[in-house]
Amino acid sequence: MTFKLKNTIMSVSGHGNAHKISQNGLVVFIMPEKNRITIYDVAKKAGVSRQTVSRVLNNRQDVSEDTRKRIQDIIEELNYHPNAIAQSLSRQKSCLFGVVTAGLKYIGPSRTLSGITSKAEELGYGLLLKELAQFSSNDVQSLLHWFQSHQVEGIIWAIPEVCDNHNWLDSLLPGLDTPILFLSISQRDKVQIVSVDNYQGARAATQLLIDQGKKHIAHIAGPGEWWEAQQRRAGWSDALSEEGFSVEVEMCVEGNWSSRSGKAAYTDLSEQYSQMDAVFVANDQMALGVLQSTAEQGLRIPDDLMVIGFDGIPESEFFSPSLTTVYQDQNMLGSIAVEELAKMVENDQSKEGNEPPTHIILQPELILRQSTGEYPGRI
């Protein structure tokens, strides 16, 4: 078997219980891995990542003296002898980023992934993608090890914060040498984050309705365990409170992001908050359910009820009536994530140490359409 890696030709053939590797004329016999101590054995015993052991072996300076001494002692104890060819290959850049996502059947995650793939292609990075079965998964240790074994240079964690699905950060992140960037989670120390300002977007939407003279502004919220839904609900509530309006339990009903749930939530609101003259809906798909219900009731939009959504999906322009919405550029969110991760990788490879993490907040844009009045445009 022969394969080519960059400018090196290597051929591998069996030789008894060993493998013979011919590299540009140099012949090396490598014994099977069964009984040989590996870098993973050293890392496991030292309680660090494979990359940290690799840094010690390569005499990198960005390892604490205590950690370096512990690893060196374990290397001696286990009689570990790194393979020279493997060390040479490990020092080469993989030009790979890992991406963790979930719910690609939904609009938001798929738009974010589109931005990630486009910018990665532009910057010359390949992607290894893993989609979790559910947003709330917290069992990520094997996944992180999988990415490390494939020598990705960085990871984009494109899973929104749902319940406690980021609780593993405190225990696992300190031992992870691979740079990792998070999307759509609450701000944390020592964590690089790129997110949309859901709170301010919701405030702007609610303030528009207040400025239009509406007195009874309801809210259809996203699932309560989602951080983004919590932020949008808080923006709605605070905007009302600061203008002197009371916020009561019957003014808010939760949906699950789907159009069907939006329709059901609006039905509940109609029964429990009959004086409602406007509604801020936490996403455009639920707002579509609201528009269908009002049409069935014979209500006129915006005369009888004003409606604002959130997300700015392309279809919202073609709803009937067209939907005023808070537009978040999720394609840009993914693009900026790749740019920032590339910077993190460059900083990680320098011997001057890493820059402190930052929290980049993208401001959404309010797009005015027929559901709040006859003056389409942008704010």
17 and 140 in a single domain? The answer is: no
Q: How many angstroms separate the CA atoms of 353 and 63, rounded?
A: 10
Domain residues for the domain of 12 are 1-36
At 43, the pLDDT band (50, 70, 90 cuts) reads: confident
Given this model, what pLDDT does residue 174 score? 81
Q: How many domains does the chain have?
A: 4
Same-domain status, 212 and 307:
yes
Residue 48 pLDDT? 85
pLDDT at site 7: 39
208 & 265 share domain? yes
DSSP state of 33: S
Q: Does 256 lie in the same domain as 286? A: yes
**Residue tagged 């401001």 (tokens):** 363
What integer is the mean pLDDT of 157-175?
89
Neighbours of 273 (CB within 10 A): 18
Find the range with the poorest average confidence among 162-176, 181-195, 215-229, 286-300: 162-176
In this predicted model, what pLDDT tens digit does every residue of 189-235 receive, in sequence order?
Answer: 889 999 999 999 999 999 999 999 999 999 999 999 999 999 999 99
How far CA 116 is from CA of 26, 130, 263, 339, 341, in Å, comes to 41, 14, 33, 9, 11
* pLDDT (0 to 100) of residue 44: 86
**Do residue 67 and residue 113 come from a single domain?**
no
Report d(CA 283, CA 101) in Å as an integer.
20
The CATH number of residue 131's host domain is 3.40.50.2300
Q: Picking from 9-23, 162-176, 182-196, 289-303, which range would have the lowest pLDDT averaged per residue?
A: 9-23
pLDDT > 70: what percent of the chain?
84
In this structure, what CATH number is given to the domain that contains residue 65? 1.10.260.40
Q: Does residue 164 sit in the same domain as residue 211?
A: no
Q: How confident is the model at residue 26 (pLDDT cuts 50, 70, 90)?
A: very low
222 and 139 share one domain: no
Distance separating alpha carbons of residues 368 and 371, to the nearest angstrom: 8
Q: What is the pLDDT of residue 349?
A: 53
User: Same structural domain for residues 235 and 373?
Assistant: yes
Residues 159 and 175 reside in one and the same domain = yes
Q: In the predicted model, what is the mean pLDDT of residues 136-153?
A: 87
Looking at the structure, tell me whether residues 25 and 62 fall in a common domain.
no
